[in-house]
Amino acid sequence: MSDSRPSYLAHHFDHLEQQKQSATLGIWLFLITEVMFFGGLFLGYIVYRGLYPEAWHLGSGKLDIALGATNTVVLIFSSLTMALAVRSAQVGNRKGCAHYLLATIILGSMFLGIKAIEYSHKFFPGPDSHYFLIPGKNFSLASPYADQVQIFFSFYFTMTGMHAIHMIIGIGILIWLYVKALKGSYHEHYYNPVEVTGLYWHFVDIVWIFLFPLLYLIGRH
The only residue of 15, 130, 183, 220 in contact with other proteins, by rule CB under 8 A = 220
Contact positions with other proteins (CB under 8 A) in 132-171: 135-137, 147-148, 150-151, 154-155, 157-158, 162
In whole angstroms, how close is the CB of 154 to other proteins at the nearest point? 4
- Rounded to whole angstroms, the Cα distance separating 19 from 50 reads 46
**Residues 72-103, buried b or exposed e (16+ Cβ, 10 A)?**
bebbebbbebbebbbbbbeeebbebbbbbbbb
- Render 158-171 in DSSP notation, one character per residue: HHHHHHHHHHHHHH
> What binding mask, one character per residue, do residues 11-50 give for other proteins by CB under 8 A, x or -?
xxx---xx-xxx-xxx-xxxxxxxxxxxxxxxxx-xxx-x
Applying the rule CB under 8 A, the residues between 64 and 93 that interact with other proteins are 65, 69, 72-73, 76-77, 79-80, 82-84, 87, 90-91
CB nearer other proteins, residue 33 or residue 128: 33
With respect to other proteins, which residue has the nearer C-beta, 47 or 179? 47
Closer Cβ to other proteins, 53 or 125, answer by number: 53
Distances (CA, A) of 158 to 12, 29, 55, 128: 40, 24, 17, 27
